[in-house]
Chain A
Amino acid sequence: MPMRLDELQRRFVASLYGEPADIEGAIRADGGISVADRLAIYRGNLHATFARALELEYPVLAALCGAEFFAVLAREFQQAHPSVSGDLQQVGAPLPQYLRQRFAGGEHAYFADVAALEWAREESARAAAAAAPDLQALGAVTADAALALRLPLQPGVRLIASRWPVYTIWQAHQGPGEVRSVDLGAGAEQVLVWRARGAQQLECLPPAEFRLLEALRGGASLGEAFDLALATDPAFDIAAALQRCATRGILAGVQAAIGNGEGRAIA
């Protein structure tokens, strides 16, 4: 009587993950190659496929780690967070959080933020594109009405704040040639990730402008967001920052702020 399908599959996967599974009896041992050797081919595939997917999603982290350390890290991470999707592009989702715990307080603590930046790029690349706002209609709004507006950001916008120079680290690994060395003590960076002209864009923002965008993404009105930005930097140039938002194409259709904050689409 052959083993039931669900039982066989559960044991097979457990065996690939290195757990005691008692699967050997369900596998033919002919052709001069042992069951253990046959299973080892699949176990090798399991780890290689996972590590390759991670490396594609996290090329800068992989470069920072070096091949040997990255392989160990990928293996550890896979044990802790096995793939939960048939879509390989999803396997890396829990990695930033995993690294945050794994390297908390140590010399590699910044790995988590580098990974968060790389994952933000991945998400940005696959996000939907919302309709752009009608900038002419926006321009015709009175100053008071403008302050009450809620400006939603495009679904592909991500905001990554780090106490390390993550943008500079990421930038140092782009393009051919030697990787420039980066002073980890150079201080905090706030990075805007978005998609424009079919590609992911990254830009390091001053703290006040970053705060403005965080507030807008959190659903604050333009007036509330301005107040937060000005509290960060009293010399913050609001008009110039809004102009940059429009030029980058990071704004989506606009909502007026009314009472309960539900908002009405006006553009």
Chain B
Amino acid sequence: MGLRAAHHREVLATAPDVGWFEAHSENYFADGGAALDTLSRVRERWPVALHGVGLGLGSAAPLDREHLRRLARLVAHIEPWAVSEHVCWGHAGGRHTNDLLPMPRTAESLRHLAARVGELQDALGRQVLLENVSSYLEFTGAQFTEAGYLAALVAESGCALLLDVNNVFVNARNHGFDAEDYFDELPLDAVREIHLAGHETTRIAGREIRIDTHDRPVCEDVWALYASARRRFGPVPTLIEWDAALPPLAILVAEAQRADAIG
């Protein structure tokens, strides 16, 4: 399950029955202090995955060397079982959006992103997992489907995938594709981790749009799609992301156990 600051004390005090924890890398970039101490102690008892939300590998602007240095330092310290980033970009012209922005799915952007993934893997000395993001717009001139873009990224960079089933569902609804077709296009053995999350359904100009919010339980449609993903990709480690309006730890543990029970 996800390790969030609000639950740090309780996790250490109660040692919940979960298989592993995932931490947002940037939240532990500090030189010292309580948060980093907590993650170190969690690591003594459980496997930990580090999930980056700020590197924006698909940005055309130069890679932030300081960010990379801090990530590499954290990876060396924590020795996570997985290091993941997103198939996204986030900054241009010196301004960061601190968002996971969708890639234009062109051959040019694929070459760029694959090279950046290669740079990251070289810097860390290990394979990384790349996660599909939710999106509310698509760029014109796409030369790949979204899943085809992921498959090409895997082939070109040698990365693995973190498949966010909620994001697949959200994008399938927002952009009108079939989630099962999306799964069909992914390389079977590249999916090493799965994310689930809750999302919001809203309307703009009378049309429905799904917004990825991470602030509520996983909906039944996404659970059903997850069952399908497990049948295809096997029992890969699964994490439920809950970042806003955090419920009590016990509810997160129960959601995590539900995910483990689906085989």
Q: Do A and B bind each other?
A: yes
Q: Are B54 and A34 in contact (CB under 8 A)?
A: no
Alpha-carbon separation in the docked complex, A25 to B139 (Å): 9
Known contacts A87-B29, A127-B32, A156-B33; A34 and B205 CB within 8 A of each other = yes
B198 lies within 8 A of chain A by Cβ: no
Q: What's the minimum C-beta distance from B91 to chain A, rounded to whole angstroms?
A: 7
Q: Does B206 contact A (CB under 8 A)?
A: yes
User: Which residues on A sit within 8 Å (CB–CB) of B141?
Assistant: 1-3, 26
**B-side contacts of A128, CB under 8 Å:** 31-32
Nearest chain B residue, comparing its CB with the CB of A25: B140
Which of A82, A125, A156 interacts with B96 by CB under 8 Å?
A82
Interface size on B, residues (CB 8 A): 52
The CA-CA distance from A21 to B114 in the complex, in Å, is 28
Which residue in chain B gives the minimum CB-CB distance to A14? B93
Give complex CA distance A33, B136 in Å: 10
A177 contacts chain B at the CB level, 8 A cutoff: no
Q: Report A-chain residues with C-beta under 8 Å of the C-beta of B56.
A: 86
* Residues of chain A at interface, number, CB under 8 A: 53
In the assembled complex, A59 has its CB within 8 A of some CB on chain B: no
Q: How far is the CB of A36 from chain B (nearest CB, A)?
A: 10
Q: Is there an interface contact between A13 and B91, defined as CB atoms closer than 8 Å?
A: yes
Which one, B100-108, B180-188, B227-235, B249-257, is touching chain A?
B100-108
- B 51-87 contacts with A by CB, 8 A: 53-56, 59-61, 64, 67, 70
A49 close to B30 (CB less than 8 A): no
A12 within 8 A of B: yes
Confirm or deny: B121 has a beta carbon within 8 angstroms of a beta carbon on chain A.
no
Contact with B along A54-90 (1 / 0, CB 8 A): 0000000000000000000000000000111111110
Q: In the complex, what distance in Å separates the CA atom of A42 from the CA atom of B209?
A: 13
A194 vs B163: C-alpha distance in the bound complex, in angstroms? Answer: 42
Contact: B64 with A10, CB < 8 Å? no
- Chain A residue numbers with a CB within 8 Å of B145 are none
Rounded to whole Å, the gap between the CB of A23 and the closest CB of chain B is 10
Q: Given A88-B54, A91-B98, do A6 and B140 touch, yes or no (CB 8 Å)?
A: no
Q: Is the CB of A6 within 8 A of B207?
A: no
Do residues A9 and B94 form an inter-chain contact, with CB atoms below 8 A?
no
B96 to A85, Cβ gap below 8 A? yes
Q: Which of A46, A85, A198 has the most CB of B within 10 A?
A: A85
- Identify the closest chain B residue to A45 (Cβ): B99
State the Cβ distance, A3 to closest chain B Cβ, in Å.
8
Known contacts A41-B211, A82-B96, A86-B90, A195 near B33 by CB under 8 Å: yes
Cβ-based interface call for A202 (8 A) = no
Q: Contacts A86-B96, A89-B26, A129-B32 known; A35 to B137 CB distance under 8 Å?
A: yes
Known: A28-B138, A86-B55, A125-B30. A46 touches B37 (CB 8 A): no
Taking a contact as CB atoms under 8 Å apart, the answer to whether A31 and B139 are in contact is: no
Residue numbers in A under 8 Å from B60 (CB-CB):
5-6, 9
Is A199 located at the chain interface by the 8 A CB criterion? yes
Q: Does A94 contact B (CB under 8 A)?
A: no
Residues of B near A41 (CB, < 8 A) are 136-137, 204, 209, 211
Closest Cβ–Cβ distance, residue B99 to chain A (whole Å) = 5
Neighbouring B residues of A49 by C-beta, 8 Å = 98-99
Cβ contact within 8 Å between A86 and B64: yes
- B140 with A26: CB separation less than 8 A: yes
A89 contacts B29, C-beta separation under 8 Å: yes
Instruction: Tell me if B127 counts as interface (CB < 8 A to partner A).
Output: no
A180 at the A/B interface (Cβ < 8 Å)? no
A-B contact pairs, 19 of them (CB 8 A): A2-B106, A2-B140, A5-B108, A9-B61, A10-B92, A13-B93, A25-B140, A33-B205, A35-B137, A39-B137, A41-B137, A49-B99, A83-B98, A86-B67, A87-B70, A91-B98, A127-B30, A198-B34, A198-B37
Interfacial residues, chain B to chain A (CB-CB below 8 A): 26-27, 29-35, 37, 53-56, 59-61, 64, 67, 70, 89-99, 101, 104, 106, 108-109, 112, 136-141, 174-176, 204-207, 209, 211
Instruction: Beyond the given A8-B104, A84-B94, A84-B96, please list 20 additional residue pairs across the A-B interface where CB-CB is below 8 A.
Output: A3-B104, A8-B139, A9-B101, A31-B175, A33-B204, A34-B205, A37-B205, A41-B136, A41-B137, A41-B211, A45-B97, A46-B97, A49-B98, A83-B98, A86-B26, A86-B91, A86-B96, A125-B30, A126-B33, A155-B31
